[in-house]
Structure formats: C-alpha cells, structure tokens
C-alpha cells in the first residue's frame, strides 16, 4: 500500500482559486484511477472529480463542472485539483483517493486508499 498526502488547502474568499496536490509515495500511480472527494461538516463524504489511469477521461460532480479541473503527472506521481471560482458551499475537507488498478473511480465504493485530507474554507 502506498501513501497519499494532500496539500494546498487554505482559507480564501469567494471567487478565488486554489490548487490541491496529492503526492503519492511507496507506489506508482500510473495504473490507478485517482480522484478527489470532499466532506463538509455534518455531511457525508462525496465524490468531486476523478481521472482514469490512462488520463483519457475525467469525471466531475455537477456542482463543480466548469470550475474544477483534475489532472495527473505520473512522472511526479502526483494528482492535482485546480479549483476556480470557489464558493462557500465548496468548504470541506478534501481527500485524495486511489481506485483499483485500471478501474473506475466515480464514487466512494471505487476508492481503495485515502489520504488524510486538506481543509478548504471559502468565506463569503
């Protein structure tokens, strides 16, 4: 099992941008779908975005389409989530996840390993 470490969270104002990073160690991410989930206070963890192991396809929850972009750099063993036009409802702890080898990662059931999370807070 490898380790996933998120970074890049913080406190920003409405309309600002942040880029989250997820650095993997102990295992190459090359053949694994990677994704981001988030959990707001008092709510269940939810899917945000994912990218296929090949990088050929990306998936987003409706509320972030057009604002968030997921990408991966296999050479750096890192996955990114570029978040633009942030809104207060984006406030949550953001978790990086890896799915099963060459599988899909579009919901919680597809995740096989998790990072510890990074807090994103958007003030109005």
pLDDT in tens, the chain (124 residues): 679 999 999 999 999 999 999 999 999 999 999 999 999 999 999 999 999 999 899 999 999 999 999 999 999 999 999 999 999 999 999 999 999 999 999 999 999 999 999 999 999 9
Yes or no: say if 105 and 35 are a contact pair by the CB < 8 Å rule: yes
Nearby residues of 41 by Cβ (< 8 Å), 6 or more positions away: none
Residue with token string 């570029």: 82
Q: What SS3 class is residue 22?
A: strand
Give the integer Cα–Cα distance in Å for 5 and 115: 5
């Amino acid at each position: 099992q490898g380790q996933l470490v998120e970074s890049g969270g913080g406190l920003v104002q409405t309309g600002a941008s942040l880029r989250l990073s997820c650095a993997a160690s102990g295992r190459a991410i090359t053949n694994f779908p990677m994704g981001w989930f988030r959990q707001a206070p008092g709510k269940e963890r939810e899917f945000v975005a994912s990218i296929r192991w090949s990088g050929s396809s990306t998936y987003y929850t409706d509320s972030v389409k057009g604002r968030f972009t997921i990408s991966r750099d296999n050479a750096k063993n890192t996955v990114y989530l570029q978040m633009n036009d942030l809104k207060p409802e984006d406030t949550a702890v953001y978790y990086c996840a890896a799915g099963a080898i060459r599988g899909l990662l579009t919901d919680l059931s597809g995740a096989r390993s998790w990072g510890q999370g990074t807090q994103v807070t958007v003030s109005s």
